[in-house]
């Protein structure tokens, strides 16, 4: 049963709150998932490295519930998909367990602590996230779903199904199913384990069964295989998904039924690349942190779905879950959307990056945590690699670093035999020389494009890829002139000409160049797909070497790394990647064309496109054609391990043109024929509001979301790229506002409010449905602007 509704919450210490008779009547009532820290406020007393939000402290949750008498004699478990962090759980005043890692799901058997006489049972949860526990915003609270599970004493173990596909061809597929069944009775039993398989269309395609003997208070594994003909294979273009239904029967009576979704596909890694179903696939990948901007870390499936759909529009085919296991919903969506996943476990091992990080728990919990990650996730066809860590400081430990790497690799091999292990390594050449890189199957190189050739020469049989690349930074719609390669800017924003980054970083063009030069590299995972809360590099501090506050550049409080901003609005860099990763004709023009006071002065104009050639017009006058790949754009660079300070890029076209107000237009040609165009017009004063919504119909389930984009327009309908009007929102009907944002990394406005200033002409409202069907109407108003409204149906 979903156990998310009707909790009580208190954000402070509450002595005795685990006791049954504790008075929580003045506590706040809410439903899960919940992230208390996203409510704010932003404050300089909190660490900008972790978002400048109050994620640390103590939070208590309590819930009262009754157990049906029919549940007596059965096994009752409480499952938490994620609680941030150091969770202690009590039932009726009795401590039932503790789990420190906030990213790992866990469950406790609470059978013996419950009352079945119709009186109330009380579950209490205390969380105590620490300051300096994370290098980004971790969130706080019970931020993923909770489930109450009632089973017969004989049942399938948590994450007890393990499906592998030893053979998958066009003609047939072999499905091997190892299911762990628990017997929590005092007698030995024999049960029938039946496996039935259903096609993507829901048709039964195979049934196999066997008798399984299980000793008292123990478990046993049923191992069965079957063959199906003409399988529909899972891949990035056609992500077909099958279901296995495991039924446990005793004397003909059904004791348990357990459904597992899986895909039929083969993966292979060689020194020459990655192969999916025997076809070579390059990783057009992105790294993603787990927060969803204004929603914080609270898991809403639609929020992750929107994020992943935006990434697919950019041409992304792979996700690295930096630097922790994601939610179950996130992986389900990757299965459904055909996205490859690098599932990552830890950001640190024994050597601390921050004083209260995972290193505090590593010795006691690392084996349990990484194995549980694999147990939970190993049936997802989207997952192709297990990552045991990111930029681990043990890379430099000649004596013991490789031993820890081997230990974690061995844990992975115990749980899953079908996928390789990997690590994201930012040192070179230490981990390769120290026998560290050799402890995983696939080497991940962070920010080493100019070393790719050397790595191949020194380690000719080692498969590797760019596990973290570029780290280019920008603020949506911000253009600083003249174009410079600066460290920071007084505005605390970063120019969107796509060349600024910290000392290890470089523009996307550099990675494109070295990947093409070294085709044996399996691809890249850019840092990052989306902006995220915390780590406001290049402002505030230095990674790993600065354990203290990152508030020297306040109010910078969130990432600039994303190709998409925190609100989900694409930056210019989104289109640079799209131009390289997609084939459908596209064209993108920058910057905006509102440069009052710059008349007659040259403005650099860039075009990102995947067509053959482009012609630029200003007020109808041609400024000449440019040919993609032939007419190069010189960009300024300056990063570690690379001597040249400029790079002639074939990936972007450019013109320097004197500014005159009016219309800027590019026309794209493919094989000599016009295929697309883009127009930017100098706007007048802001005059009205425009609203658009990602979906006009959403589910009335109390969790579905509608994302409404607000744009500020002039009287002629032209977008106002510099507008910062304050917009107020009013919603009526079957829903509520759960978040507002504008993508600015320095805004201290609340994510929870009913108003938001536009940032460079745009802002966002996130609406959540109620549990009743109906109509939800959002009205947006601003002083001196014509208001607008939009209607969303909930069903």
> Is residue 170 exposed (0-12), middle (13-18) or buried (19+ Cβ within 10 Å)?
exposed
- Please state whether 477 falls in left (phi above 0), alpha (psi between -120 and 50) or beta: left
Marked catalytic residue, from 182, 305, 329, 468: 468
Rounded Cα distance, 538 and 138, in Å: 20
The pLDDT of residue 264 is above 80: yes
Residues in the chain, overall count: 795
Q: 54-85: per-residue pLDDT in tens?
A: 999 999 999 999 999 999 999 999 999 999 99
- Residue 488, SS3? coil
- Mean pLDDT (the chain, rounded): 97
As annotated, the residues of the chain forming the CATH 3.20.20.80 domain(s) are 272-492+505-539
Q: 627-684: per-residue pLDDT in tens?
A: 999 999 999 999 888 889 999 999 999 999 999 999 999 999 999 999 999 999 999 9
The pLDDT of residue 738 is above 60: yes
Q: Which of 456, 465, 374 is nearest to 423 (CA)?
A: 465
* One-character DSSP codes across 389-446: EES-GGGG-TTTHHHHHHHHHHHHHHH-SSS-EEEEE--SSHHHHTT-GGGSSEEEEE
Q: What is the rounded average pLDDT of the residues 597-608? A: 97
Q: What is the rounded average pLDDT of the residues 241-261? A: 97
* One-character DSSP codes across 500-514: B--TT---HHHHHHH
439 close to 409: Cβ distance less than 8 angstroms: yes
Please tell me the predicted confidence (pLDDT) of residue 541.
85
Rounded Cα distance, 474 and 584, in Å: 26
What residues form DSSP beta bridges with 691?
Answer: 710
The pLDDT of residue 544 is above 70: no
Per DSSP, 294 falls in state G
Rounded Cα distance, 592 and 722, in Å: 9
- Residue 572, SS3? helix
Pairing of strands 28-30, 602-609: unpaired
Please tell me the predicted confidence (pLDDT) of residue 542.
78
299-302 — which CB contacts under 8 Å span 24+ positions? Answer: 299/33, 299/81, 299/82, 299/143, 299/144, 299/145, 299/327, 299/329, 299/330, 300/33, 300/703, 300/705, 300/768, 301/329, 301/332, 301/333, 301/703, 302/698, 302/703, 302/704, 302/705
> Is residue 732 exposed (0-12), middle (13-18) or buried (19+ Cβ within 10 Å)?
exposed
Q: What are phi and psi of 734, to 5 degrees?
A: -85, 55
CA distances 193 to 264, 270, 528, Å, are 22, 38, 45
Q: Which of 466, 454, 506 is nearest to 282 (CA)?
A: 466
Structure tokens at 777: 């109407």
Pairing of strands 673-681, 621-627: unpaired
Marked catalytic residue, from 18, 107, 391, 678: 391
Please tell me the predicted confidence (pLDDT) of residue 545.
58
* One-character DSSP codes across 157-179: EEEEEEEEEEEE-SSEEEEEEEE
Rounded Cα distance, 418 and 441, in Å: 12
Rounded Cα distance, 242 and 258, in Å: 14
CA 592 and chain centroid, separation:
30
The pLDDT of residue 497 is above 90: yes
The pLDDT of residue 389 is above 60: yes
- Residue 339, SS3? coil
CATH class of 272-492+505-539: alpha beta
* Residue found under tokens 């049960």: 191
380 close to 329: Cβ distance less than 8 angstroms: no
The pLDDT of residue 767 is above 70: yes
Please tell me the predicted confidence (pLDDT) of residue 453.
96
Structure tokens at 416: 């899953």
Q: What are phi and psi of 516, to 5 degrees?
A: -70, -35
CATH node for 7-150:
2.60.120.260
555: preceding bond cis by omega (within 30 degrees): yes
CATH node for 154-262:
2.60.40.10
Q: 335-362: per-residue pLDDT in tens?
A: 999 999 999 999 999 999 999 999 999 9
What residues form DSSP beta bridges with 98?
Answer: 88
The pLDDT of residue 546 is above 60: no
CA distances 152 to 73, 106, 219, 589, Å, are 8, 20, 14, 62
408 close to 422: Cβ distance less than 8 angstroms: no
HSE, CB side, 13 Å, CA atoms: give it for residue 448: 22
770 close to 736: Cβ distance less than 8 angstroms: yes
To the query of whether residue 468 is one of the catalytic residues in this protein, the response is yes
Rounded Cα distance, 322 and 330, in Å: 13
**Percent above pLDDT 90 for the chain:** 98
475 close to 538: Cβ distance less than 8 angstroms: no
Helices (H) and strands (E) in the chain, counts: 8, 45
Residues whose CB is less than 8 angstroms from the CB of residue 403 and which lie 6 or more positions away in sequence, other chains included? none
Per DSSP, 783 falls in state T
Q: 121-153: per-residue pLDDT in tens?
A: 999 999 999 999 999 999 999 999 999 999 999
Q: The domain 587-681 belongs to what CATH superfamily? A: Immunoglobulins (2.60.40.10)
CA distances 289 to 48, 565, 571, Å, are 16, 13, 18
Rounded Cα distance, 614 and 649, in Å: 16
482 close to 425: Cβ distance less than 8 angstroms: no
The reply to whether the predicted model has a pTM over 0.75 is: yes
The pLDDT of residue 289 is above 90: yes
761 close to 679: Cβ distance less than 8 angstroms: no
Please tell me the predicted confidence (pLDDT) of residue 547.
59
* One-character DSSP codes across 615-676: EEEETTEEEEEEETTTS-EEEE---TT---SEEEESS-EEEEEEB-SSEEEEEEEETTEEEE
What torsion, rounded to 10 degrees, do the Cα atoms 482, 488, 490, 492 define? Answer: 110
What residues form DSSP beta bridges with 778?
Answer: 731, 790
405 close to 388: Cβ distance less than 8 angstroms: yes
* One-character DSSP codes across 83-106: -BSSEEEEETTEEEEEE--TTS-E
CATH class of 688-794: mainly beta
- Give the end-to-end CA distance of the chain in Å, rounded to a whole number: 22
Q: What is the rounded average pLDDT of the residues 424-436? A: 94
As annotated, the residues of the chain forming the CATH 2.60.40.10 domain(s) are 154-262, 587-681, 688-794
Q: Which of 478, 532, 524, 185 is nearest to 342 (CA)?
A: 524
**Percent above pLDDT 70 for the chain:** 99
- Residue 112, SS3? helix
Type and span of the H or E element at 269 = strand 267-270
Structure tokens at 738: 């759960």
Pairing of strands 755-757, 774-782: unpaired
What residues form DSSP beta bridges with 780?
Answer: 729, 788
Packing angle, helices 572-581 and 301-314, rounded to 10: 60
To the query of whether residue 391 is one of the catalytic residues in this protein, the response is yes
The pLDDT of residue 499 is above 90: yes
């Amino acid at each position: 049963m979903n156990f998310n509704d009707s909790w009580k919450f208190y954000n402070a210490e509450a002595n005795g709150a685990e006791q049954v008779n504790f008075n929580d009547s003045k506590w706040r009532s809410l439903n899960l998932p919940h992230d208390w820290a996203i409510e704010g406020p932003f404050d300089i007393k909190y660490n900008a490295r972790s978002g400048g939000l109050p994620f640390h402290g103590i939070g208590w949750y309590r819930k009262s519930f009754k157990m049906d008498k029919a549940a007596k004699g059965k096994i009752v478990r409480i499952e938490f998909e994620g609680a941030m962090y150091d969770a202690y759980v009590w039932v009726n005043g009795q401590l039932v367990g503790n789990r420190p890692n906030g990213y790992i799901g866990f469950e406790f058997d609470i059978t013996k602590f419950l009352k079945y006489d119709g009186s109330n049972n009380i579950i209490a949860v205390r969380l105590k996230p620490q300051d300096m526990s994370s290098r980004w915003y971790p969130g706080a609270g019970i931020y993923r779903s909770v489930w109450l599970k009632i089973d017969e004493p004989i049942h399938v173990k948590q994450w007890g199904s393990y499906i592998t596909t030893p053979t998958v061809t066009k003609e047939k597929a072999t499905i091997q199913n190892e299911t762990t069944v628990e017997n929590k009775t005092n007698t030995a039993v024999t049960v029938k384990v039946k496996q039935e398989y259903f096609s993507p269309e829901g048709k039964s395609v195979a049934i196999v069964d066997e008798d399984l003997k299980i000793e008292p208070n123990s478990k046993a594994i049923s191992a069965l295989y079957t063959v199906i003909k003409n399988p529909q294979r899972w891949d990035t273009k056609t992500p077909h998904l099958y279901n296995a239904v495991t039924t446990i029967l005793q004397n003909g009576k059904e004791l348990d039924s357990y459904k597992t979704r899986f895909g039929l596909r083969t993966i292979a890694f060689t020194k020459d690349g990655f192969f999916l179903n025997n076809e070579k696939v390059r990783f057009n990948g992105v790294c993603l942190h787990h927060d969803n901007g204004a929603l914080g870390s609270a898991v809403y499936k639609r929020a992750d779905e929107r994020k992943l759909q935006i990434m697919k529009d950019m041409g992304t085919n792979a996700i690295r879950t930096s630097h922790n296991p994601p939610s179950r919903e996130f992986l389900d969506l990757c299965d459904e959307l055909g996205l490859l996943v690098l599932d990552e476990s830890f950001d640190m091992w024994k050597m601390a990056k921050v004083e209260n990080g995972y290193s505090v728990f590593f010795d006691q919990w690392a084996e349990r945590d990484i194995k549980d990650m694999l147990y939970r996730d190993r049936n997802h066809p989207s997952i192709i690699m297990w990552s045991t860590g990111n930029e681990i400081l043990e890379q430099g430990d000649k004596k013991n670093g490789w031993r820890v790497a081997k230990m974690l690799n061995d844990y992975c091999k115990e749980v899953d035999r079908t996928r390789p292990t990997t690590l994201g390594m930012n040192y070179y050449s230490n981990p390769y020389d120290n026998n560290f890189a050799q402890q995983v199957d696939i080497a991940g190189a962070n920010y080493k494009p100019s070393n790719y050739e050397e790595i191949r020469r020194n380690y000719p049989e080692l498969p590797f890829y760019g596990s973290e690349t570029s780290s280019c930074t920008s603020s949506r719609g911000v253009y600083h002139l003249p174009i410079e390669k600066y460290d920071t800017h007084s505005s605390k924003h970063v120019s969107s000409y796509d060349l600024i980054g910290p000392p290890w970083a470089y523009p996307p063009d550099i990675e494109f160049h070295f990947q093409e030069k070294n085709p044996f590299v399996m691809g890249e995972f850019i840092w990052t797909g989306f902006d995220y809360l915390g780590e406001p590099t290049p402002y505030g501090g230095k990674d790993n070497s600065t354990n203290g506050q990152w508030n020297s550049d306040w109010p910078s409080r969130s990432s600039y790394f994303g190709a998409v901003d925190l609100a989900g609005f694409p930056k210019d860099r989104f289109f640079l990647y799209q131009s390289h990763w997609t084939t459908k004709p596209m064209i993108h023009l920058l910057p905006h064309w509102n440069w009052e006071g710059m008349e007659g002065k040259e403005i650099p104009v860039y075009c990102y496109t995947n067509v053959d050639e482009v012609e630029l017009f200003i007020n109808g006058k041609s400024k000449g054609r440019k040919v993609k790949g032939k007419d190069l754009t010189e960009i300024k660079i300056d990063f570690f391990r690379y001597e040249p300070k400029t790079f002639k890029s074939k990936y972007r076209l450019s013109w320097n043109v004197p500014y005159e107000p009016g219309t800027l237009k590019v026309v794209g040609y493919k094989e000599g024929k016009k295929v697309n165009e883009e127009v930017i017009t100098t706007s007048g004063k802001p005059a009205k509001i425009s609203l658009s919504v990602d979906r006009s119909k959403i589910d009335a389930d109390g969790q579905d979301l509608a994302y409404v984009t607000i744009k500020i327009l002039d009287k002629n309908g032209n977008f106002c790229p510099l507008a910062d009007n304050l917009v107020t929102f009013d919603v009526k009907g079957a829903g509520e506002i759960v978040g507002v944002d504008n993508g600015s990394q320095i805004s201290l406005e609340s994510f929870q409010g009913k108003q938001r200033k536009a940032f460079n002409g745009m802002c966002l409202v996130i609406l959540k449905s109620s549990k009743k069907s109906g109509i939800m109407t959002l009205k947006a108003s601003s002083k001196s602007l014509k208001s607008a409204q939009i209607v969303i149906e909930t069903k």
